[in-house]
């Protein structure tokens, strides 16, 4: 997604920051060994660029979190409360205007230039104008400089999600003068990407030293950073498979590993490593097509509800590993608008039988589509599909498994041609409005042929949630998504875990819902 919440990424966890302090021991290789001046981190790269206004992948976001400051932040990983970053903010009563006031007047870019309102305005307009993957964050927003301390963001429609969007690393603030001098513009003619990949222009705790999208990215401390100087002056991020990460983190050749599954974590010597295992912000769910010509039985609400009551959710939760969570709607439990997880359905086979009788289901096989090559935070989707098939068979529901490569499966889902299957969603930003895609007429709802007007009740709840303000927004959205889930069109399954493994060479670190691993705060 991806969250600092990109859609694909979504490897971030609980809303409470977790700071770990443990005894140190020597370890690491020549890049991050006992000298203690470098952190070696490993992940399987999902990296196209570190130009902040173009990047929209997990690895790019991880790097840019360390390089760029943003107008607003999430303090201690609490995704429910945006706080001041480079700026403080105020929203107008109608949520159409945000006023940003430059707060950190001592912030400096990596070349020593001060961060100014002009830099912030340029960064916002560049994000919009180059039309990269994250440009939609500021759709419908007019950016206006008021004076040397003030910016106004004016939205065509009420935009209460805006404070939750601005902390995203894709809206990092760049040095406008230097970027302009290197072909940077605020339209599609921008040519600064290659320069920014090799010469980052941020005011965060680190700057890029070397960049190779295929193998390794090296960051060094920004001597002009206005916060506490990082204890580790260098970060080495290497492109390494999960299998190799197991060996390297165990042997001390790496300090941080991002991609280990719960099964791989179980093989590690727990005396040699520290484990931060937190709920991610990915949602895994079953979808049911509402078009009878496509879905057959899935178009019947009684059949869909029978599926929801037939699943053994505790066993599904076991597949996610320790700290995975039940979900009562597609919205992650840490977000405003989430339906409390204790309201999630339980297995009730007597209820299933009655619902199947009402549906007139006579045991025909239902095609069940899923990505055969996909794992979400270490949770194997193929294994999940087989588990669901076995559980529903016990309840008298027959699934015909239809595995396909991720791209093929996604194309079929987007074309609204699949009767039933497994879907995943990662937040673009931590606001419930990002999940309007699941209500009738939304972009994901269209994939199951669920159109606006198909449910008057849900349309009215969606309108009420959109109009809600302040503290009323969260309960209004929770009511909307509870009603959405009760249709059985979406059957929420699990919120899997995001696991970060850290060597004992690191005495303390911060891993939370905003930043999977904060390099600048490691000691």
Alpha carbon distance 412, 514 (integer Å): 33
| Element of type H or E holding 195 | helix 193-198
**CA terminus-to-terminus distance, the chain:** 29
Buried b (16+ CB within 10 A) or exposed e, 50-80: bbbbbbbbbbbbbbbbbbbbbbbbbebbbbb
Contact between 474 and 499 (Cβ < 8 Å): no
CATH level 2 (architecture), domain 38-262: 3-Layer(aba) Sandwich (3.40)
Buried b (16+ CB within 10 A) or exposed e, 141-174: bebeeeeeeebebebeebbbbbbbbbbbbbbbbb
Alpha carbon distance 129, 107 (integer Å): 25
| Element of type H or E holding 420 | strand 420-426
pLDDT score for 36: 57
Alpha carbon distance 443, 212 (integer Å): 35
Looking up tokens 């769910």, which residue turns up?
Answer: 285
Q: Identify the burial level of 383 via C-beta atoms within 10 angstroms of its C-beta, where 0-12 means exposed, 13-18 middle and 19 or more buried.
A: exposed
Residue closest to 109 by CA, chosen among 202, 199, 176, 177? 202
Tens of pLDDT, residue by residue, the chain (523 residues): 334 444 333 333 333 333 333 333 333 344 544 345 899 999 988 899 999 999 988 899 999 999 999 999 999 888 889 999 999 999 999 999 999 999 999 999 999 999 999 999 999 999 999 999 999 999 999 999 999 999 999 999 999 999 999 999 999 999 999 999 999 999 999 999 999 999 999 999 999 999 999 999 999 999 999 999 999 999 999 999 989 999 999 999 999 999 888 788 889 998 889 998 877 888 999 999 999 999 999 999 999 999 999 999 999 999 987 788 999 999 999 999 999 999 999 999 999 999 999 999 999 999 999 999 888 887 889 999 999 999 999 999 999 999 999 889 999 999 999 999 999 998 889 999 999 999 999 999 999 999 999 999 999 999 999 999 989 999 999 999 999 999 999 999 999 988 899 999 999 999 887 888 999 999 9
Tell me the angle at which helices 349-359 and 301-310 cross, rounded to the nearest 10 degrees: 160
Buried b (16+ CB within 10 A) or exposed e, 390-418: ebbeebebebebbbbeeeebbebbeebeb
Alpha carbon distance 199, 172 (integer Å): 15
pLDDT score for 498: 85
pLDDT score for 17: 37
Matching fold, domains 38-262 and 282-495: no
- Domain assignments of the chain as residue spans, ordered by start: 38-262, 282-495
pLDDT score for 26: 31
pLDDT score for 443: 94
Alpha carbon distance 369, 415 (integer Å): 13
Alpha carbon distance 73, 173 (integer Å): 13
Tens of pLDDT along 320-359?
Answer: 877 889 999 999 999 999 999 999 999 999 999 999 999 9
Alpha carbon distance 112, 201 (integer Å): 10
The CATH code that applies to domain 282-495 is 3.10.105.10
Alpha carbon distance 81, 477 (integer Å): 16
């Amino acid at each position: 997604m991806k969250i600092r919440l990109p859609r694909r990424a979504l490897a971030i966890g609980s809303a409470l920051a977790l700071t770990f302090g443990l005894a140190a021991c020597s370890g690491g290789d020549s890049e991050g060994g006992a000298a203690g001046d470098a952190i070696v981190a490993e992940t399987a790269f999902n990296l196209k660029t570190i130009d902040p206004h173009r990047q929209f992948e997990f690895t790019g976001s991880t790097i840019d979190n360390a390089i760029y400051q943003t107008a607003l932040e999430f303090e201690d990983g609490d995704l429910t409360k945006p706080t001041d970053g480079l700026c403080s903010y105020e929203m107008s009563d109608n949520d159409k205007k945000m006023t940003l006031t430059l707060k950190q007047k001592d912030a400096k870019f990596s070349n020593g230039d001060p961060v100014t309102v002009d830099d912030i305005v340029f960064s916002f307009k560049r994000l919009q104008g180059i039309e990269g993957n994250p440009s939609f964050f500021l759709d419908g927003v007019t950016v206006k400089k008021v004076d040397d301390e003030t910016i106004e963001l004016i939205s065509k429609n009420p935009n209460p999600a805006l404070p939750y969007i601005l902390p995203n690393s894709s809206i990092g603030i760049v040095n406008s003068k230097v970027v302009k001098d290197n072909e940077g513009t605020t339209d599609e003619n921008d040519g600064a990407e290659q320069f920014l990949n090799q010469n980052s222009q941020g005011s965060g705790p680190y700057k890029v030293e070397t960049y190779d999208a295929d193998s390794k990215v090296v960051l060094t401390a920004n001597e002009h950073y206005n916060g506490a100087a990082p204890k580790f002056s260098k970060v080495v991020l290497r492109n390494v498979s999960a299998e190799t990460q197991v060996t390297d983190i165990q042997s001390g050749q790496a300090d941080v590993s991002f991609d280990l599954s719960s099964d791989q974590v179980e093989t590690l010597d727990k005396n040699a490593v520290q484990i931060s295992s937190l709920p991610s912000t990915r949602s895994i769910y079953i979808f049911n097509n509402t078009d009878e010509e496509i879905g057959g039985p899935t178009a019947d609400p009684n059949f869909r509800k029978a599926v929801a009551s037939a699943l053994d959710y505790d066993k599904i939760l076991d597949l996610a590993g320790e700290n995975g969570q039940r979900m009562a709607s597609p919205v992650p439990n840490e977000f405003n608008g989430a339906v409390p997880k204790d309201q999630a359905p339980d297995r009730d086979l007597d209820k299933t039988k009655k619902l199947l009788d009402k549906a007139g289901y006579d045991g025909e096989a239902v095609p069940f589509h899923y990505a055969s090559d996909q794992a979400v935070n270490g949770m194997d989707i193929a294994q999940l599909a087989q588990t669901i098939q076995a559980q529903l068979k016990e309840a008298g529901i027959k699934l015909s498994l239809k595995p396909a490569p991720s791209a093929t499966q996604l194309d079929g889902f987007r074309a609204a041609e699949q009767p039933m299957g497994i879907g995943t969603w990662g937040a673009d930003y931590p606001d419930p409005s990002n999940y309007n895609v699941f209500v009738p007429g939304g972009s994901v709802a269209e994939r199951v042929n669920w159109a606006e007007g198909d449910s008057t009740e849900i349309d009215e709840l969606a309108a009420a949630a959109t109009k809600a303000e302040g503290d009323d927004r969260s309960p209004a959205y929770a009511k909307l998504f509870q009603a959405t889930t009760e249709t059985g069109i979406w059957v929420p399954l699990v919120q899997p875990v995001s696991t970060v493994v850290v060597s004992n060479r690191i005495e303390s670190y911060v891993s939370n819902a905003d930043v999977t691993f904060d390099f600048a705060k490691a000691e």
